[in-house]
Amino acid sequence: DSGVTQTPKHLITATGQRVTLRCSPRSGDLSVYWYQQSLDQGLQFLIQYYNGEERAKGNILERFSAQQFPDLHSELNLSSLELGDSALYFCASSVDSSSTGDETFFGQGTRLTVV
Amino acid sequence: AQSVTQLGSHVSVSEGALVLLRCNYSSSVPPYLFWYVQYPNQGLQLLLKYTSAATLVKGINGFEAEFKKSETSFHLTKPSAHMSDAAEYFCAVSDPAFGNEKLTFGTGTRLTIIP
């Protein structure tokens, strides 16, 4: 158990819908990262938050957004869903984004299926 | 921009045989390098990391990797494969200048152990 909790584990929804994925980082970790793992794109970094503020952005679509709340949990919002958004979405956390080489701990992921 | 290339999307070895998973990196600065393992329906778990200290890095479960700057490689090895090593393995790189802001992953290598 990495200490990173993601809910729900599985999500099935229709095209055009909106979903919210939730992540609770490890106790004490200030940074939260979101990654998408799909068959055609592999593992891709989406976005990072550090202590409530956006720190880095990767290949995140405009239809997707994220936020980190004062209690440090994070939510990834996916809207106007398309079939191609079906993927495993991972949340990860680490202590401090400026601590190079610190271990990043991954949650077990939310498997999103868009039908 | 940094990247990693994993040679061989599928590798099969016999139980007890040497495991060698290849990773080459591209980086304009000395990078930090990581190997992660993903078991079926699980998140990613850190096996080992290179952060500019010793070039031979020992990780969990008997794995090790050697950073070779001249070859821009960070291959993962294990002397004797075990059935429980069957999983997908990802090489990743981060830029020390930006700390843990994001990991850039390779496409992964699925390791199969033949009894």
Q: Which residue has the tokens 């994993």?
A: B6
The parts of chain A modelled with pLDDT lower than 50 are: none
For residue B99, the model assigns a pLDDT of 65
Residues of A in contact with B96 (CB under 8 A): 100-101
Q: For position B27, what pLDDT does the model report?
A: 82
Q: Which of A39, A96, A100 to mutate to test the interface with B (most CBs of B within 10 A)?
A: A100
A61, HSE (Cβ side, Cα atoms, 13 Å):
11
**Low-confidence spans in chain B with pLDDT less than 50:** none
Tell me how close the Cα of B115 comes to any Cα of chain A, in angstroms: 28
| pLDDT score recorded for residue B30 | 77
pLDDT at B1: 76
HSE-up of residue A3 (Cα within 13 Å, Cβ side): 12
> What pLDDT is attached to residue A17?
98
> Distances from the Cα of B76 to the Cαs of A93, B19, B43, B54, B87, in angstroms?
24, 8, 19, 15, 14
